Structure 1
Amino acid sequence: MWLIYLVNAFQGSITSNLAAYIASDFEDAPLVTVIGTVSSIMATAMTMPIARMLNVWDRGNGFLFLAAIATLGLILSAACNSLPVYCAAQVFYYVGFQGLIFCVDVITLDTSTLRDRGLAYAFTSSPYIISAFAGPKAAEGFNDYNWRWGYGCFAIILPFVCIPLYGTLLYNKKKAIASGALIQPVSDKKSVKAWLWDFIIEFDLVGVILLAGGMSLFLLPFIIAGSTEDQWAAPHIIAMLVVGFILLVAFALFERFVAPRPFIPYSVLRNRTILGACLLDLVYQIAYYCWDDYFSSYLQVVYNRSLADAGYIGNIFDVVSGVWLLGVGYCIRRTCRFRWLLYWSVPLYILGEGLLIYFRKEGTNIGYIIMCQIFMAIGGGTIIIVEQVAILSVPTHNDAASALAILEMFGTVGDAVGASVSGAIWTQLFPNYLQTLLPEESVGDWETIYDSLDVQLSYPVGNVTRTAISQAYGDTQTWMVTAGTIFMAFSLVCIFIIRDIKLDTKSQVKGLLF
């Protein structure tokens, strides 16, 4: 499981650092951002049925299926030569990797006690310490040679890394069957029609369609409205928002009153601890992704940092939180409580993000940016572990995977909303700042400058055009960080929604888990 997290951390670090250059390879760079957002939304909608699949098919078969989807996504991403193929590749890529890591998280909760779960999740997250250093430098090498190999090499590595865990799960399952500890269900011969009906009911296919369609239609306008002629007044933008909202409401009503087998019991959803943890994750992810997508480009343009150096600074969160979380997990194990950690971690995160508003101004020493990153890493890493422990402290073991899927869904929706907010700010403000600040000799090229990071970096430091671009970046990022800080302020309310549960008093399921 640790090796799978390591591969995920490496490929995530490399592809995120290459994102701006990949976008520049396609003629319609803003559409690449839309594709990434839609793919992430689709992956979120699939988390619920994946949780059901892991219960119905068992962990091993579900894990193998998701590994195959992730590998296919990597292969298609490496081989794509057109935007439609890239779009399909990203859907497989996001669904596969997000599902694969979710599966590993479920297996982690299967094999750990509630009291030790924070420490277990801290351990599986520790590979990000390694990828934070190696990933950006590798991304720089792939960019110099061919960015496609950033996907291609992991298409080769991933299957070999997944085989040991799948083999272990399969071996133990066969061992349990041979000993009589696990009884295989007798398969009934069914017609194709009966089999399809069982599939639709078991995996709540109607719910999946409503959720995926609703989330995509409701969140997409936040990305594309800025590049539309009439922007928010455009009829198709309004129609997408209205239809998306209706589909999401229909999903909630269908799950509550119609679905024969809803993803998770309604009584569990009403629990305040689950609600508080999900809302905290939603707010936290929105606040983070309000500015993070453009942070690497900001460091390269404003501070003239290389791709590798920008990656190192951006990955401070992974390094610091990776080490810090081991201590947080130990504290939870010793105290058997978790809410007290939120009393200081949430304010610390707000402080770090709030200070970034001031430090986004021109001429700020980069040391202050790094200081804020450290504050946010300590606070944010603690918040993530507490959310996971809190939401798993309530449901029964049969509902634990679904509860984790709900947390994943809220988090990814937060990612999408945050990315939508940052994309809207970028498309609305950055072009205006460029047209206002660029000197006369280059103001006519503002569209070319806006579309390409390579063009932005082609102007030497000290050049009047480069200075204007840097100022435009700083002014735009100030609004992004301000939006993130405002969203994060709502997390203070979430702290008191979560109950302070004593972990060593909760019953723990023991025995065979497949």
Structure 2
Amino acid sequence: MTTEVDRKNSSADPLTPDFEADAAAEKHQTLNITTIPGSNDEEFTANSQYGVLAAEAMTTVWSKRDLIIAFVLLWLIQAVNYMQSTATAAFTPFVTSAFAAHSLTATTSVVSSVIAGVTSLGVAKVMDIWGRPQAFTVMLVLMEIGLIMMAKCENVQTYAAAQVFYTVGYNGLSFTSTVFIADMSQLKNRAFAIAYLSSPSVITPWIGGYLSQSMLDHVGFRWGYGIWAFVSLVPTIPLLFIYTYNYRKAKSSGVAPRRESGPATFQSLYYYAVEFDLIGIILFAGGVALFLLPFNLYSFQTLGWRSPMIICMLVFGLVTLVVFAIWERWFAPKQYMPFSTLTDRTVLGACCLSGILFVAFYIWYSFFYSFLLVVDNLDVTKATYVVNVNSCLGSFAALLVGAYVRWNGRFKKSVLFVGVPGLVLSIALMIAFRNPGHVGLIIMCIVFYALASSIVTIGDEMAVLAACTHAHIATVIAMLSVFASIGGAIGSSIATAIWTGVFPVRLAMYLPAENQADVLTIYADISTQLSFPVGSAAREAINHAYADSQRYMLIAGACIQALGIVAVFFWRDLNVKDFKQVKGTVF
């Protein structure tokens, strides 16, 4: 017997994927798991892998109290992680003070970010094959190792390794938490649940900075890292206990999925290599990493983009991604996800929108903080407040968007006609307010941007989640994350290219004769820029150069953001009220 995603209006769109056919196509590839009826006379998602069925078994037997406690703990985990991230950023200058000039420091930061960006692909398969709590535990251990190593590091090599462990673990925890939320919520409520998970960012930016400064003033960064390593365990251990307890409860009651004991060692390794689609993951993760690294490392090369190493990495990255597509389509014994899902127009459109969103954002945002400090003459605290308006208001507005999706059931039109145009408008308006004296109007634009981005980000996640079965939730979220990483890298690179190509040229054009000898120093050092009195000829020239650079960044960001309309246009107009993906006691 099978249970497919119910869709009342599937006949209205000939391009709607046949989930039952996908499940049937995978039947010979899945674990030998006993399918047992669950609550409400339903069955577990047909032909799913062990981790998916274990999650469904857990929600079948746990109580409403356990569900509420799990939601509270996930909120606390996100709150702790957000504050911890703020602290890590604040501690970094103190950790690296002894070896700040060492080139490995910056390079490792780039490499760790790229590794974290593609790790979600593997984590998703771990969650599907071995189980949700198992993947969560691995990510928690990696993050704890990173925090402890950063607390004890005495040289750049230790700090470099710590960055990799911490970044992978931190991003992995965030990713697994999102999958937990998807497992615990009906599709019609999932937009609100996802917004709920990100809601700690309404308050954590204000608390995190204060706590970080207090730790630096009283105990130092080493004890600071140690404190966060301990605090991170406070909400995570109880959550793991709830998952473990309820899985054992499901197992003892005969509801939990069972699989036969593994065969011989070589056969077992081959079996899991096929289940993980190991070759596919290596090809895709390797291709993405090779494609992303040049956008971050080209500035360290003497020849820049003309460097043979940079060119080779780009070419081999693109070729590897093409090989991945060929492998998945014709040769993979078990695809990373059904090829029909991978090429579904809603999934592809949502992934493209995610990439476009991050490209546009990082183009105009990369130098925005410096712009506020120099052009608008804000101090660090006030500039931070302006920047935090986006995350705080956006997280709050996302709750309202989630409630709207719960009531209306649809999200495409709001993204297409309100969200994306709102982003384009808010970015374009800042072009007119890039000169000194318009801080209030800039904040107005940030408010518009936050409201529009809440619609777009929630709609984007709902698009991929509504276009697949419960069996592939983790993998489609991972794909969305990878496209966001690619977009962020490209956007940062474009912003840097505009900055290096415009700012020094305009600076030399506008600076008075007596400051011409200091062009390179002023260009390279924001402290030097701020040292000139407000209203002086040199400061006005610096402001003018900033305004010109920001103008090109904003124009580029607005134009690229407009491409999101095309991506959303290809989505199906899905009604989340027509779907049933999860079972048991869920939100």
TM-score using structure 1 length: 0.90
Q: Given the alignment of the two structures, is residue 61 of structure 1 paired with residue 134 of structure 2, yes or no? A: yes
Amino acid in structure 1 at the alignment position of 2:402: G
Q: 1:278 aligns with which of 337, 351, 356?
A: 351
Q: Give yes or no for the alignment of 1:497 onto 2:535.
A: no
Aligned equivalents of 1:34, 1:485: Cα separation in 2 = 30
The 5 Å alignment of 1:313-332 reads: 313-332=386-405
Of 81-90 and 344-353, deviating more is: 81-90
Residue 165 of structure 1: aligned partner: 239
Q: Distance in 2 between matches of 1:450 and 1:25?
A: 25
Partner of 2:449: 376
Counterpart selection for 2:481 from 408, 413, 422: 408
Alpha-carbon separation, structure 2, partners of 1:456 and 1:141: 29
- Deviation per CA, 1:191-236, whole angstroms, max 9, x where unpaired? 3x44443343333333333223322322333334345433333322
- Residues 430-452 of structure 1, C-alpha deviations (whole Å, 9 max, x = no match): 44444555556655555555454
For 2:203, which of 127, 130, 133 is the aligned residue? Answer: 130
1:334 matched to 2:407: yes
Higher radius of gyration, 1 or 2: 2
Alpha-carbon separation, structure 1, partners of 2:230 and 2:506: 44
Give 2:336's aligned amino acid. Answer: F
- Report the equivalent of 2:579: 506
Q: Distance in 1 between matches of 2:581 and 2:235?
A: 30
Question: Distance between the aligned counterparts of 2:536 and 2:290, measured in 1?
Answer: 43
Q: CA deviation at 1:320?
A: 1.2
Residue from 246, 252, 256 that aligns with 2:319: 246
Percentage of matched positions with identical amino acids: 37
> Does structure 2 conserve the Cα–Cα contact (< 8 Å) formed by 1:132 and 1:316?
no
CA deviations 1:407-456 (Å, max 9, x no partner) are 11112221222122223333444444445555566555555554544454
Q: Choose from 225, 249, 253 the match for 1:179.
A: 253
Say which is worse superposed, 78-87 or 27-36, in terms of deviation.
27-36
Distance 1:94 1:190, change over 3 A: same
**Cross-structure match for 1:112:** 185
Q: Give, in angstroms, the shift of residue 75 of structure 1.
A: 3.0
| Structure 1 letter corresponding to 2:252 | A
In the other structure, the counterpart of 1:45 is 118
1:80 is displaced (CA, Å) by 4.2
Instruction: Give the deviation of 1:351 after TM superposition.
Output: 0.4
Distance 2:244 2:145 in 1: 22
Aligned match for 1:398, one of 464, 471, 487: 471
Q: CA deviation at 1:13?
A: 3.9
Change (3 A) 1:89 1:351: same
TM-aligned CA distance change 1:74 to 1:471, over 3 Å = farther
The answer to whether the Cα contact below 8 Å between 2:529 and 2:539 also exists between their aligned partners in 1 is yes
Residues 122, 18 of structure 1: alpha-carbon distance in 2 compared, 3 angstrom cutoff: same
Aligned amino acid, residue 202 of structure 2:
I
1:139, 1:308 within 8 Å by CA — same for their partners in 2? no
Q: 2:461: which partner in 1? A: 388
Q: Letter of the 2:270 partner, please give it.
A: W
**Please, which moves more after superposition, 152-161 or 168-177?**
152-161
Aligned to 2:418: 344
- Asked whether the 8 Å contact 1:228–1:234 carries over to 2, the reply is yes
- Which amino acid letter does the alignment assign opposite residue 168 of structure 1? I
Name the CA shift for 1:389/1:75 in 2 (closer, same or farther; >3 Å). same
For residues 358 and 32 of structure 1, what CA distance do their matches in structure 2 show? 38
- With 462-471 and 272-281 compared, the bigger mean Cα shift is at 462-471
The aligned amino acid for 2:232 is L
Q: Note if contact 1:17-1:307 (Cα within 8 Å) is conserved in structure 2.
A: no
User: Matched residue of 2:203: which SS?
Assistant: helix
Equivalent pairs counted in the alignment come to 511
Give the letter aligned to residue 424 of structure 2.
Answer: I
Deviation per CA, 1:441-478, whole angstroms, max 9, x where unpaired? 65555555545444544555455555444443333332
